[in-house]
Structure 1
């Protein structure tokens, strides 16, 4: 189906490097494959949220559906694990690499090695900051900058342009956290009655979101917090726990908006505990493999490919949850 992209190396060397990969990236899945089967390396950030788990499943299921040999490496939230796994995939001479980078920076050297080896790299979900865009073949993901704008526009509408806001940021240095912070602030700054009184990282994790929210309630007093803006649903769900444990009613006493739109967030809206979610669609596997097939066939593809996102509010959550696939 596809051209012989790279010359395969001896089986004994593949076994050795395969053992190396299993120790550096949190483990890898490697089903057996014959010489005509494409081998794709997939490097994930980790399993820090329901969204991330759905993202991983989307890629794995699509690879299986198309009959590819997918090698999976879990970064476990550590950029150094991802870089080691990436280097191992290059040494193994896989046909292509799908990379969901934890942070934007630090990828220049690794990507240059892949390019020199003739291995195309598809950047998935989060972007990379490199000096030369030719170091990767294409990008697939949501428009995380626009998501922040959508969230801010809802806040303006919901509050009438007057509120004290606390922000739960995602992983420092990750493109979603950077974009969702900058774009949200760009809209909020246009409204003098809206103030971001605190902004701290919860690392996209539920437990951290709860901890940060507890600290903010203690620092500012619940009477001085009108709204929580969380960079993902898991942190918002943690914040809901903190608000409830403080004896307050989330979504009523303190309004909440988050990004991702996983099922647990819809359940929270149905329960009247979360006001709004901005979607970040994790089902990116099909589009990623569509583009990889074209790239490996020598076709030219767009450099930037975005999945469609929507905004969902509490009032319609009972109906909207029926259509959720994740």
Structure 2
């Protein structure tokens, strides 16, 4: 009973914080990068974890040093917005923030986290590069009794309330299903689909793929996947892979890109092939970047499922609640919106 009360209180606190200073948490806002709707917690799961159970050192949050480990270079809108959100929230709260960027190198991310600990970080926010491979860094944090909040990618074999405190992020399987639903609507439920897979080694790619395929399988065989290849979550690779797939499979009539950057690359490739993206070849993707939402307005993209990168408020409030003695659930799932031809023009200004 006590655990249930703590869980309810935590969800209420998380949801309330995301509304602060945000007139419309579902979208809208100013036009600057990273603006628009803040994250809201839609669900939490797993038992709660307290500071005593975790074995963390209790510190005054206002005097804490937060270390942030970013997995990839701020070279795409998601990473730019994610890092900026963490930075802005730390500044707003007056908390000292140390930042490191692993530039897509797993060994570097392990070293970065160990370096943040050596610099005196007593709270950590980590955006994992892969779902495996960070154990040495997690062990180093545990040895120093430093709690770790993971965001945007899950750790597969690590244990919550031991190796890390909680995961905050989207339901990636559901994102895949929602993208499939958009593609069914855009195509009328028939056609040949190419999947631009995300980077290997993380649950985002695995889950977005399984959700998408499971939805199509449940709909019957009207839409069939004829090709899939990794575009590594980059625009350049998304373009080159799409060019290859269109040559090898000229029957392709739809593309599912597991992030917006690959989708934008696919749009360029489709145009280069003499076909019209959004018409001859339907395109759906996941992220919710402004360029992709504008693509819906322009007619080159048919639908986008959001993956909200504005983790700053939820990550910081989670750490603050934890230090105050509240129980934190193992997983906090955020609520993501989606864009289609019916709302893109009205919502594009609030996309990141």
Match of 1:28? none
Residue in structure 2 matching 1:38, options 40, 64, 68: 64
Equivalent position to 2:209, from 164, 176, 181: 181
Mark the CA change 1:61 to 1:164 in structure 2 (over 3 Å): closer, same or farther.
same
Structure 2 CA distance, aligned partners of 1:63 and 1:163? 47
SS for the counterpart of 1:200 is strand
Partner of 2:233: 204
Q: Pairwise CA RMSD of aligned residues?
A: 1.9
Say whether the 8 Å CA contact 2:111–2:137 is kept in structure 1: no
Say yes or no: does 1:83 pair with 2:89. Answer: no
CA distance in 1, matches of 2:330, 2:242: 38
2:329 is paired with a residue whose SS is coil
Output the CA distance in 2 between the equivalents of 1:97 and 1:201: 31
User: Among 184, 190, 198, which residue is 1:162 paired with?
Assistant: 190
The counterpart of 1:215, out of the listed 221, 228, 244, is 244
Which deviations, in whole Å up to 9, do the C-alpha atoms of 1:152-204 show, x marking residues without a partner?
Answer: 12223333332110001111112211110111111112222221111111111
Equivalent residues of 1:49, 1:204 under 8 A apart: no
Cα shift readout 1:300-320 (whole Å, capped 9, x = no counterpart): 111111221112112331112
Q: For 1:110 and 1:261, how far apart are their aligned partners in 2?
A: 31
Indicate the SS of the match to 2:343.
helix
Partner of 2:168: 140
Match of 1:302 among 329, 337, 340: 329
Match of 2:133 among 81, 84, 106: 106
TM-score by length of structure 2 reads 0.80
Distance 1:193 1:36, change over 3 A: closer
Residues 279, 309 of structure 1: 8 Å contact kept: yes
Residue of structure 2 equivalent to 1:273:
300
Counterpart contact for 2:110–2:136, Cα < 8 Å? no
| Residues paired across the two proteins, number | 294
Gaps of 5+ in 1: 9-34
Deviates more, 1:183-192 or 1:62-71: 183-192
Q: Distance in 1 between matches of 2:189 and 2:62?
A: 60
Q: TM-score, normalised by structure 1?
A: 0.86
Cα-to-partner distance string for 1:84-106 (whole Å, 9 max, x where unaligned): 10111233341111000011011
Residue number among 223, 228, 252 corresponding to 1:194 in the alignment:
223
Q: Where in structure 2 are there 5+ consecutive unaligned residues?
A: 1-55
- Correspondence for 2:152 among 92, 113, 125: 125
Contact 1:108–1:130 (CA under 8 A) maintained in structure 2: no
Residue 250 (structure 1) aligned with residue 261 (structure 2): no
Secondary structure of 1:77 counterpart: coil
The Cα of 1:261 is off from its aligned counterpart by 0.8
What is the CA–CA distance in structure 1 between the aligned matches of 2:77 and 2:66, rounded to whole Å? 24
The answer to whether the 8 A contact 1:6-1:118 is kept is yes
Cα pair distance change 1:260/1:131, threshold 3 Å: closer
Higher mean Cα deviation, 162-171 or 298-307? Answer: 298-307
User: Do 2:158 and 2:164's aligned partners in 1 also have CA atoms closer than 8 Å?
Assistant: no
Q: 1:54 aligns with which of 81, 84, 87?
A: 81
Query: What's the secondary structure of 1:105's corresponding residue?
Result: coil
In 2, the alpha carbon distance for the partners of 1:291 and 1:250 equals 42
Contact 1:274 1:314 in 2 (8 A): no
**Take 1:138 and 1:131, find their aligned partners in 2: how far apart are those partners?**
11
Flag the structure with more relative contact order, 1 or 2, with Cα contacts below 8 A and sequence separation at least 6.
2
